[in-house]
Structure 1
Amino acid sequence: MNPWFETVAEAQRRAEKRLPKSVYGALIAGSERGQTIEDNQRAFTELGFAPHAAGPIGARDQSTTVVGQRLSMPVLISPTGVQAVHPDGEVAVARAAAARGIAMGLSSFASKPIEQVIAANPATLFQLYWCGGKDEMLERMARAKSAGAVGLILTLDWSFSHGRDWGSPVIPEKLDLRTMLKFAPQTVIKPRWLRTYLRAGTIPDLTAPNMAVGSGGAPGFFAAYGEWMGTPAPDWDDVRWICDQWDGPVMLKGVMRVDDALRAVDAGVAAISVSNHGGNNLDGTPAAVRALPVLAERVGTQVEVLLDGGIRRGSDVVKAVALGARAVMIGRAYLWGLAANGQAGVENVLDILRGGIDSALLGLRKTTVAELDRGDLVVPDGFERVLGAG
């Protein structure tokens, strides 16, 4: 099989063929019925383009900046947790992002240490959860700063909804002999995935090294997850405290409401990401792109506005930018590429998005992504959702 693929959909098909059922299930899962994860993608199909038949067009420039980082196109890597789809995990993703000139978002629950990831891509933003006491959060921020992280992504949108109508993926606490025997039927029928780990001389890592504090070692994923669940939810003063302590750009991820966006501006964030946690938060939340236009209009001159959720094509990126996003963040798309072909697979996905962006710019007769606006789209009546405006 040719290792190169032409679409993100093909990357997903190859990931499904390659990965054990439980691992693939973790990639596609959305909370409860999956209403939100479906709407994240469906909403993009409701948006159309208004192309020009002719007009001057030269080389297209996709570059932009996000929190001071120059990007070759308006796409960033969104932080995602333990990446057991490939032994190189977040390091492979970081290398791919660096090779394609974009920034890397690294999860607190990543399987690779922040120092290794930043060595692979200096344009790395560290995702911070409100987890544990303030002393522990200060220690994690200090480590990220020392490692060279260029910004923080503060993620607060999580309702800990475990139920999924199609069944939640089974993720073990640790990979001991008993666990490996239990999961053996899944892995032996996926020999290519197993061989990738055997060649690397390792097994999937279920620890969270970036959650380590003090003299303790890296906690297990579920221990770190449990600490997060048990930490009282922050308020807006806590968001301001994070911004003050970091002394650098902070992006607040998970904003869907106008009132929250305004409070985020007051708290001192540099950017917000309009996001519903990829459909893994409160099911029934509208697609992020439906909430984007009003949020970009209300706060886009005060902070940078990004979007994540449902991006599968370069044309989706263009639609989001035309509605006011400075850039988008991708999650599942690059994980499927990673599963399909490691670092090269992630680069493949990024090249697909770049090609789609270029084709859309050509059809719209735009020479830069900065020229995109709502007039380039066909936006149907009732498309938008205005949340928290009253």
Structure 2
Amino acid sequence: MSTWFESVAEAQRRAKKRLPASVYSALIAGSEKGLTLADNLGAFDELRFAPRTAGHHAQRDLGTHVLGRDVALPVLISPTGVQAVHPDGEVAVARAAAARGTSIGLSSFGSKPIEEVVAANPNTYFQVYWTGTRDDIRRRLDRARAAGAVGIILTLDWSFSHSRDWGSPHIPERLTSRELLRFAPEGITRPRWLLDYVKTRRLPDLGVPNMASPGEEAPTFFGAYGQWMQTPPPSWEDVAWLRSQWDGPFLLKGVIRVDEARRAVDAGVSALSVSNHGGNNLDGTPATIRALPSIADAVGDQVEVLLDGGIRRGSDVVKALALGAKAVLIGRAYLWGLAAGGQAGVENVLDVLRNGIDSTLLALGKKSVHELTREDVVAPAGFAVGLGAAHERGPGS
């Protein structure tokens, strides 16, 4: 039990104690002042519940069907980049998700090949950034298809990089002897993290193998990042083209406006995630939970609506489902679990969320996550925002 933790907050505290300062700071980063990052968390605190006193159900059903797959709980693993917080990286996360009956999104900037991740969890979705030419993107889709990916995630809520008021950690392009010497003081102060890598006899891998074709040398993270920076941003026609290249679940991650949710439906997506990239895109964007209700109202009967950003408790998941989400995606929460305890730590985080969902359903008198409605949540006046809704109706309406 000494390795078990009872909250995501405790996983974060353990991750902070275990990780070198620069690695940990990369996990908590938000852009500029961190307004959006703070609102993603704070907005959930503004929501209250309307619990019931009697008539509770002895057993609750947490399972759902989302993105073409049955999952044991409405919590999916969001794709995140190079996971140097643990040597096993995305493979450990994939195994944990499989053990708890849910799906994983693998970033194209991830540190483990898609073939290894799919082998660890058959319910793997490959995440795509609009990087390079259409032929480049098509080759990556071909590799994902051949590996057995069950769907794709197009991430468009990361459009540019902002500086941070508290500074950004130094991330080397390659771990050369000079970089290792520079990093040594941090590594020495976190011996358990360093020992994890010593046992594997390999250094943290900063390459991104899924950006290469099979047999090609993987580019570095910054090499791939540079290509992304030089690629013109995609149009809605590009989104529709990419959709035409994949016959299966297609999630568009990054929608925050009602008018663009409708454009996503027109482009043929099968699902969308209300997202602001965890506060790492345009600072000052409202929390995703504030934007969720209007988007769910607009397109929830046409596509599956998911949410990511700010999920730290099972009760947060319930609030999102009550306001219209089919499921949620988590990022920082499982990375803290991975840092704290590898695969077991990620399983622990999923268990924390599962238990929180279950106990919240019990208090609300619900038998299933599918019974949740907006009447179960109390929101203050002016809580929800309908970005793009007025534009959709036209001026003066």
* In 2, Cα distance between equivalents of 1:358 and 1:50: 16
Please name the residue that 2:41 is paired with: 41
Q: How many residues align?
A: 390
Please name the residue that 2:394 is paired with: none
Preserved CA contact (<8 Å) 1:208 1:219: yes
1:158 aligned onto 2:148: no
Preserved CA contact (<8 Å) 1:76 1:327: yes
Structure 1 unaligned regions, length at least 5: none
Match runs of 1:282-321 below 5 Å: 282-321=282-321
Runs of 4+ in 1 over 6 A off after TM superposition: none
Preserved CA contact (<8 Å) 1:136 1:213: no
* In 2, Cα distance between equivalents of 1:96 and 1:56: 31
In the superposition, the TM-score normalised over structure 2's length comes to 0.97
Please name the residue that 2:114 is paired with: 114
* In 2, Cα distance between equivalents of 1:214 and 1:345: 31
Which residue identity lines up with residue 192 of structure 1 in the other structure? R
Which residue identity lines up with residue 285 of structure 1 in the other structure? T
Please name the residue that 1:267 is paired with: 267
1:100 aligned onto 2:100: yes
* In 1, Cα distance between equivalents of 2:5 and 2:314: 15
Listed one character per residue, the Cα deviations across residues 32-61 of structure 1 (whole Å, up to 9, x for unaligned) are 000000000000000000000111413100
Please name the residue that 1:339 is paired with: 339
Match runs of 1:174-189 below 5 Å: 174-189=174-189
- Aligned-residue offset at 1:162: 3.0
* In 2, Cα distance between equivalents of 1:61 and 1:178: 54
Q: Tell me which moved more, 287-296 or 214-223.
A: 214-223
Listed one character per residue, the Cα deviations across residues 134-179 of structure 1 (whole Å, up to 9, x for unaligned) are 0000000000001010000000122322300010111111101100
Please name the residue that 1:16 is paired with: 16
* In 1, Cα distance between equivalents of 2:15 and 2:133: 38
Which residue identity lines up with residue 256 of structure 1 in the other structure? I
Listed one character per residue, the Cα deviations across residues 284-336 of structure 1 (whole Å, up to 9, x for unaligned) are 00000000000001100000000000000000000000000000000000000
Please name the residue that 2:381 is paired with: 381
* In 2, Cα distance between equivalents of 1:227 and 1:56: 55
Preserved CA contact (<8 Å) 1:162 1:168: no
Preserved CA contact (<8 Å) 2:311 2:333: yes
- Aligned-residue offset at 1:235: 0.5
What is the root-mean-square deviation in Å for CA atoms of aligned residues? 0.9
SS where residue 328 of structure 1 aligns? strand
1:125 aligned onto 2:125: yes
Match runs of 1:22-61 below 5 Å: 22-61=22-61
Preserved CA contact (<8 Å) 2:162 2:281: no
Preserved CA contact (<8 Å) 2:257 2:291: yes
Which residue identity lines up with residue 208 of structure 2 in the other structure? A
* In 1, Cα distance between equivalents of 2:284 and 2:290: 13
Which residue identity lines up with residue 164 of structure 2 in the other structure? R
- Aligned-residue offset at 1:126: 0.4
Preserved CA contact (<8 Å) 2:143 2:213: no
* Percentage of identical aligned residues: 68
Q: Tell me which moved more, 317-326 or 57-66.
A: 57-66
SS where residue 36 of structure 2 aligns? helix
- Aligned-residue offset at 1:186: 0.5
Preserved CA contact (<8 Å) 1:74 1:327: yes
Preserved CA contact (<8 Å) 2:56 2:363: no
Preserved CA contact (<8 Å) 2:63 2:74: yes
Preserved CA contact (<8 Å) 2:87 2:197: yes
Which residue identity lines up with residue 28 of structure 1 in the other structure? I
- Aligned-residue offset at 1:275: 0.2
* In 2, Cα distance between equivalents of 1:178 and 1:201: 19
Match runs of 1:140-151 below 5 Å: 140-151=140-151
1:80 aligned onto 2:80: yes
* In 1, Cα distance between equivalents of 2:208 and 2:244: 26
Please name the residue that 1:173 is paired with: 173
* In 1, Cα distance between equivalents of 2:56 and 2:225: 53
Which residue identity lines up with residue 246 of structure 2 in the other structure? W
In the superposition, the TM-score normalised over structure 1's length comes to 0.99
SS where residue 165 of structure 1 aligns? coil
* In 1, Cα distance between equivalents of 2:57 and 2:76: 26
